[in-house]
Amino acid sequence: MRVRHIFWFMVIMHAGCLIPLAWLGAGYFFGRLGADPISALEQFSGRIAISLLTATLLVHPLASLLKQPLIMKARRPLGLYTFAYVLLHVLILVGLDYRLDIPLLVTSYVDKPFIWFGAATSLILAALAITSFAWWRQRMGVWWGRLHRLIYLAALLDLAHFFLVVKGNLLSLSGNLARPSIYAALILLLLLLRLPVFRHHPCPDISTHTDDT
Ligand code: HEM
């Protein structure tokens, strides 16, 4: 892959991450988000966040499969976009849905396990976003790679969040499980690909572009 190709690859990646934001903003301001626009905003931002998280996990296997280490350059921005959409998702809930009424928010959700899974995912993603800078990477040494492997845990916690949101109760599984099931299949496949048994073809020179997570 040449520098020109990677430039266009990155342009498409940034556009792909920003277009949903523009669509969301336009939909809200022009009243095109249906009868419950705030709930639509919450759901849509959550779906974009989990999609970008999945895309972030996809980068390494894709770079290895295509033997194109430059693809690894997309991983950090994708991870940061994921976190940005998570922030937006939470801000919509706190700012638009609950109008900063934190006591009401706490009483509404404190006994709902899906919120705790979402919160745990957000904390992990926040830690990864903050430490994604070169300054942290140099200082943390081997711990940097270990910390950033938590992205897999974040993906699993987020799947639990998604399943519980659409159902409300994991014990009595039924209802609209199609969407989270698709993400679960994709994420589990990507996790499987990280197992040593499937890692026969490492990407050449990938060490210059990766954190080995
Ligand atoms: C403190 C953190 C979080 C809170 C308080 C939170 C809250 C919520 C709420 C209230 C809903 C239901 C929206 C509705 O049906 O109207 C929801 C749905 C969702 N959230 Fe979160 N969330 C958090 C973190 C996350 C994270 C980290 C992700 C992904 C990386 C995420 C992805 C989703 C998804 C995919 C949905 C389902 C959208 C749908 O129904 O299709 N959430 N979240």
CA–CA gap between residue 36 and residue 88 (Å, rounded): 17
Most ligand 1 atoms within 8 A of CB, residue of 38, 41, 43, 153 to mutate? 43
Lowest mean pLDDT among 2-6, 112-116, 155-159: 2-6
For 16-60, what is each residue's pLDDT tens digit? 999 999 999 999 999 999 999 999 999 999 999 999 999 999 999
How far is CA 186 from each of CA 49, 51, 60, rounded to the nearest angstrom? Answer: 15, 10, 14
Residue 84 beta carbon below 6 angstroms from any ligand 1 atom:
no
For 159-193, what is each residue's pLDDT tens digit? 999 999 987 555 665 567 889 999 999 999 999 98
Number of the ligand 1 atom closest to the C-alpha atom of 36:
16
pLDDT reported for residue 211:
44
How many whole angstroms from 49 Cα to the centroid of ligand 1?
9
- Tell me if 161 sits within 8 A of 114, measured CB to CB: yes
